[in-house]
């Protein structure tokens, strides 16, 4: 657990079962909870939008447009914002694709299926490059995150189906999700 500021102490609040940062002056409890990441497998016709990261972590590697939610936005709005920020892409969210639980990095990742409203894309400030690729052009060995690979493979397994239950963490990935 990280160090608390001078007016905070680390302790277990009454009725709780884990250490939290607590203000010694007003009894405020500073809950630090998992972050929510939203993103999309975005397509234009038979091509998939991928983004080459211009920021850490995984600078220079490819991924899907995704990132942390902002306060006050829906998960759909967050996924659309991330596509705009990373690829200057105007997308239409189609449906929920997957929800991944990754406690080792304290994240819940929510991925959608989405379509570009037009093929006009460009690298945003968080991307070195963006492009539309065919399935066999995906740079698998240069993908930044396992969850982007999971989403791509699960999306591909649908073979164009439009109605499906959301996916979760793939079998055999337990070592990637545990703390």
pLDDT at 176: 63
Residue-by-residue pLDDT tens, the chain, 179 positions: 556 567 899 999 999 999 999 998 998 999 889 999 999 999 999 999 999 999 999 999 999 999 999 999 999 999 999 999 999 999 999 999 999 999 999 999 999 999 999 999 999 999 999 999 999 999 999 999 999 999 999 999 999 999 999 999 999 886 565 54
Report the DSSP pairing between strands 35-44 and 62-63.
Answer: unpaired
Q: Are 176 and 105 in contact (CB under 8 A)?
A: no
74 CB-contact burial (10 Å; exposed 0-12 / middle 13-18 / buried 19+): exposed
Backbone dihedral angles phi then psi of residue 158, each to the nearest 5 degrees: -75, -20
C-alpha 32/C-alpha 21 separation (Å) is 9
Domain spanning 35-177, CATH architecture: Alpha-Beta Complex (3.90)
Extents of the domains making up the chain? 1-32, 35-177
């Amino acid at each position: 657990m990280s160090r608390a500021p001078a007016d905070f102490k680390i302790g277990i609040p009454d009725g709780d079962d884990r250490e939290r940062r607590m203000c010694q002056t007003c009894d405020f409890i500073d809950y630090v909870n998992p972050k929510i990441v939203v993103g999309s497998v975005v397509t234009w016709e038979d091509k998939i939008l991928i983004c080459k990261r211009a920021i850490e972590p995984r600078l220079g590697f490819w991924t899907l447009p995704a990132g942390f939610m902002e306060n006050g936005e829906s998960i759909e709005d967050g996924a659309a914002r991330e596509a705009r920020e990373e690829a200057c892409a105007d997308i239409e969210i189609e449906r929920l694709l997957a929800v991944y639980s990754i406690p080792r990095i304290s994240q819940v990742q929510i991925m959608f299926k989405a379509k570009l409203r037009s093929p006009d894309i460009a690298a945003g400030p968080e991307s070195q490059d963006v492009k539309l690729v065919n399935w066999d052009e995906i740079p698998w060995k240069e993908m930044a995150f396992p969850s982007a690979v999971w989403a791509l493979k699960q999306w591909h397994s649908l073979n164009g189906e439009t109605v499906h239950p959301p996916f979760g963490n793939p079998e055999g990935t337990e070592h990637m999700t545990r703390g």
